[in-house]
C-alpha cells in the first residue's frame, strides 16, 4: 500500500510539476526556428460556430470586420447550430450589409458543434486557403490574421494563438482560470518550441483547408483537427503574435459542468484517434501527449487512490508520517471544498492559495467524471456555454 500511495502522488507531481519543468528545460536546448511563410498573403475564412450567441455575436462580427488584412482576402462565416434566440436575425443583418464578406450557414439538427462545422465546411463554396476557428465570445487583436498567415508555412499545417482572459483580475474561477491558462500556455509554448504542441484550443486556431477532415459528432473538433494535422506530417505550433481575448467563467458552478463535458469529449477524441496517433507520432511526441494529456485526464483517479491509500496506512499502521500526510491531504481538500461553497474565510494571501486549490480540485474532479463517462460509453455531443463568459 505504501507503493500505491507513493506512485499515485508521484504521477500527480510528475504531470503538474516535473513534466512542465522538463519540457521547458528541453525547449531551451532544442528550440526550433519557425520557417518563414513564403506563400504571400492567402485567402482566409474565419469560422464562428454559434449556438444562441445573441449577447456577443454583434461585437464578434464587428471585431472581425475591423481586422487589418486585405478585405478581399478574408471572409467571416457564422455557423448557427440550432439557435433559438435572435442570433440568426442579427447575423442576417450583417450578411445583407456585407454581401460576400459575412456569410451564414444554419444547422437545425441539434447534433452539436462538430457536426455543424462538418456540414458547413463541406457545403460552403469559396472558403479560403486557411480556415480560422474562433469561438463566438473570443475577440482577435487587429493584426491576428497577418500573424496567422505568417505562421502557417511549408511545414506548419496548424497554428494556435495566445488567449488572454479580460476579467482575470476579478476573483474566483475567472482569476484561477487565467492563472491556469498562463501555466498551460507556457507548456504549449515549450512543446511547440521542441517540434509540435499537443492539441489546439477552440478559442483560436487555424489550419490549411486541405488538412481539415470530417469528424464524428462526439469528438472535439479542435483537438482532433489539430492533432490530425500532425498525423498528416505537418507541425502544430503556437504563435504568441496571434492574440485573442475572452471573458473567463466567473463561478466554479459554471466551470465545473463545462469541464466535465470537455473532459468527456477530449477523452472520446483521444480514443477515436489513439491508433492513428500511435502510428504516426514520434516517440518524443507520444511522450509529450501522454504526459500533458493522457496522464492528466487520469490525475483525478490517482488523487482518489492516494487519499484512500493514505487513509488505510494511517489507520492500519498508526504511523506519524502517514497521519501527517493524511492530515495535509484532508486539509487541502477541505479548504478547496469550503472555497468552492463560498464558506472559506477571506484571509489575505491564504485566500489566493485556497482559490487555486479549489480550481485544481474542480478541474481534476471534472476530468475524473468526464473520463469515467467516456469509459462507460457516454458521448456528449451538444454544448452549453457558461453565461458569465458572455
pLDDT in tens, 192-248: 999 999 999 989 999 999 999 999 999 999 999 999 999 999 999 999 999 999 976
- Averaged pLDDT score across all residues of the chain: 91
**Which pLDDT does position 32 carry in this prediction?**
66
**% of the chain residues with pLDDT over 70:** 90
HSE-up (13 A, CA, CB side) for residue 154: 4
pLDDT at 170 over 90: no
305 CB burial (10 A radius; 0-12, 13-18, 19+): middle
Architecture in CATH of 44-251: Alpha-Beta Complex (3.90)
- On the question of pLDDT at 282 being above 90, the answer is yes
**Residue ranges of the domains in the chain?**
44-251
Top-ranked range on mean pLDDT: pick from 146-150, 181-185, 257-261: 146-150
Residues 6+ apart with CB under 8 A from 281: 230, 231, 289
The DSSP secondary structure of 111-123, one letter per residue, reads --HHHHHHHHHHH
Contact 127, 80 (CB under 8 A): no
* Strand 235-246 with 156-165, pairing: parallel
Tell me what pLDDT residue 380 has.
85
Question: Which stretch, 37-41, 170-174, 322-326, has highest mean pLDDT?
Answer: 322-326
Q: Is the pLDDT at 187 greater than 90, yes or no?
A: yes
Question: What is the predicted pLDDT for the residue at 36?
Answer: 66
pLDDT grade for 341, boundaries at 50, 70 and 90 = confident
Least confident of 249-263, 301-315, 317-331: 249-263
What pLDDT is stored for residue 25 in this prediction? 96
pLDDT at 390 over 60: no
Alpha carbons within 13 angstroms on the beta-carbon side of residue 256 total: 13
pLDDT (0 to 100) of residue 33: 66
Structure-block grid coordinates of residue 20: 512542465
Q: What is the pTM of this model?
A: 0.89
Q: How confident is the model at residue 351 (pLDDT cuts 50, 70, 90)?
A: low
What is the structure's pLDDT at 86?
96
Residue 334's CB is within 10 A of a number of other CB atoms, namely 12
Q: What is the mean pLDDT of residues 270-292?
A: 97
Evaluate whether 77 touches 122 at the Cβ level (below 8 Å): no
pLDDT of 354: 83
Task: Kindly indicate the confidence band of residue 168, based on its pLDDT and cuts at 50, 70 and 90.
Answer: low
Backbone angles phi, psi at 152, to 5 degrees: -85, 105
The pLDDT value recorded for residue 269 is 97
pLDDT above 80: residue 350: no
Distances (CA, A) of 89 to 104, 203, 385, 387: 10, 24, 20, 20
Residue 183 pLDDT exceeds 60: yes
pLDDT attached to residue 40: 87
Tell me the per-residue pLDDT of 13-59, one tens digit each, with 9 for 90 and over.
999 999 999 999 999 988 766 666 767 899 999 999 999 999 999 99
Give me the helices (H) in 14-71, please.
19-30, 57-65
pLDDT of 228 reads 97
Mean pLDDT, residues 270-294:
97
d(CA 146, CA 360): 36
Amino acid at each position: 500500500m505504501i507503493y500505491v500511495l507513493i506512485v499515485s502522488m508521484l504521477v500527480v507531481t510528475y504531470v503538474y510539476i516535473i513534466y512542465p519543468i522538463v519540457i521547458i528545460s528541453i525547449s531551451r536546448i532544442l528550440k526550433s526556428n519557425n520557417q518563414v511563410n513564403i506563400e504571400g498573403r492567402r485567402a482566409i475564412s474565419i469560422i464562428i460556430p454559434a449556438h444562441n450567441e445573441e449577447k456577443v455575436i454583434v461585437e464578434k462580427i464587428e471585431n472581425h470586420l475591423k481586422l487589418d488584412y486585405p478585405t478581399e482576402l478574408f471572409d467571416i462565416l457564422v455557423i448557427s447550430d440550432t439557435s433559438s434566440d435572435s442570433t440568426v436575425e442579427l447575423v442576417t443583418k450583417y450578411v445583407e450589409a456585407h454581401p460576400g464578406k459575412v456569410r451564414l450557414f444554419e444547422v437545425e439538427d441539434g447534433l452539436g458543434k462538430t457536426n455543424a462545422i462538418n456540414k458547413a465546411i463541406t457545403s460552403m463554396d469559396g472558403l479560403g486557403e486557411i480556415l480560422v476557428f474562433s469561438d463566438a465570445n473570443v475577440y482577435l487583436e487587429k493584426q491576428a490574421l497577418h500573424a496567422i498567415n505568417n505562421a502557417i508555412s511549408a511545414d506548419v499545417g496548424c497554428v494556435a494563438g495566445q488567449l488572454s482572459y479580460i476579467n482575470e483580475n476579478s476573483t474566483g474561477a475567472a482569476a484561477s482560470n487565467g492563472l491556469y491558462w498562463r501555466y498551460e500556455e507556457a507548456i504549449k509554448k515549450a512543446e511547440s518550441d521542441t517540434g509540435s504542441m499537443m492539441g489546439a484550443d477552440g478559442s483560436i486556431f487555424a489550419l490549411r483547408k486541405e488538412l481539415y477532415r470530417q469528424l464524428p459528432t462526439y469528438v472535439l473538433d479542435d483537438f482532433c483537427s489539430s492533432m490530425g494535422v500532425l498525423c498528416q506530417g505537418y507541425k502544430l505550433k503556437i504563435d504568441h503574435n496571434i492574440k485573442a481575448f475572452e471573458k473567463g467563467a466567473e463561478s466554479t458552478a459554471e466551470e465545473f459542468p463545462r469541464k466535465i463535458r470537455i473532459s468527456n469529449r477530449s477523452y472520446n477524441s483521444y480514443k477515436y484517434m489513439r491508433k492513428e496517433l500511435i502510428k504516426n507520432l514520434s516517440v518524443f511526441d507520444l511522450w509529450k501527449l501522454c504526459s500533458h494529456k493522457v496522464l492528466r485526464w487520469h490525475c483525478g483517479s490517482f488523487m482518489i487512490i492516494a487519499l484512500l491509500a493514505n487513509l488505510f496506512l494511517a489507520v492500519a499502521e498508526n504511523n506519524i508520517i502517514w497521519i501527517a500526510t493524511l492530515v495535509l491531504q484532508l486539509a487541502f481538500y477541505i479548504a478547496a471544498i469550503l472555497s468552492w461553497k463560498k464558506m472559506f474565510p477571506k484571509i489575505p494571501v491564504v485566500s489566493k492559495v485556497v482559490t487555486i486549490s479549489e480550481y485544481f480540485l474542480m478541474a481534476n474532479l471534472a476530468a475524473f467524471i468526464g473520463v469515467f463517462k467516456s469509459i462507460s460509453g457516454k458521448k456528449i455531443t451538444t454544448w452549453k456555454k457558461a453565461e458569465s463568459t458572455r
